[in-house]
Structure 1
Amino acid sequence: MSTSAEAVVDTANGVILVRDTGIDTRADQRAAAEASRIPGGRGRGRMIAAAGTVLQIRCAHQLARPRIRLEAHPNEGPYRLTVLSGRIGVDTGDGITCELPLSPGTYRVMVEHDGRDEVQAAARQVEAQTQYADATTTHSGWRSLDGIERFRVLLHVE
């Protein structure tokens, strides 16, 4: 049994979900989205929010693809994630990637992140450089940001 999984992933409009992949989590996805909202924030939200079987992570830019690593590792993180099916993974909106088998239970979750400022600065450059570029150049510019932003999600059973 693997204790970690890692991948560079797409996002769903700048959001990725770490969730129980063996059950229907739609209600918890809505609850996590609601928990991430900042009252009066006009579209802005908290970077991390959790509800039941879903941990939502808001990335630095909607077109950049972050690197995410899931690890079973002791921690005293501020978030709780319920795993009912024994499978946890990253939901990018287009499918599940980066799956990790875990025993069913409630997990403490800590999220470490790096590269957020760098990807935001690089995204501003790509936007400026590709404003009048062809599709191939634009796609290449955005793919140059892959993996700059990094998340490490540590999960530890309570």
Structure 2
Amino acid sequence: MKCPFCAHPDTQVAETRVAEDGQHVRRRRRCPACDKRFTTYERPELALPQVVKKDGRRIDYEAAKLRASFALALRKRPVSTQQIDAAIERIEEALLQLGQREVASQRLGEMVMRELKKIDHVAYIRFASVYRSFQDIDEFKTLVDEVRQ
């Protein structure tokens, strides 16, 4: 690995251990050229499916877009970052368990709605009102009544 300080092309691993979360490998490295130390983290790269949009376009799955959707729905709601991270992790695990190379954006939206319903009912209704594109107030009322039960 290239040194981030002097760009020397080869560094030495001084120490390796599993990170606290158990999901990453933490490595302390030393550059033989400048003698500076730095830390790197390794994690497995998982192939998440591509998302097929309504118009047929295929785009790569992006956790940042999913996080932005959660952030918008949960704006000014008393929900912790840890809850959001856990919800995104559950969605990603479900996507991996599907074992498919593609997933419809509608299915991904339904997964988000399911997670939001568990976390915060107001955020769930906010997301659903945009996602489902209600045509009249009766459809919206039905959703609210469903959440109340």
Structure 1 or 2, whichever has the larger Rg, is 2
Judging by fraction of residues, say which structure has more helix.
Answer: 2
TM-score by length of 1: 0.25
TM-score by length of 2: 0.27
Judging by fraction of residues, say which structure has more strand.
Answer: 1
Q: Which of 1 and 2 has higher RCO (CA within 8 Å, sep 6+)? A: 1
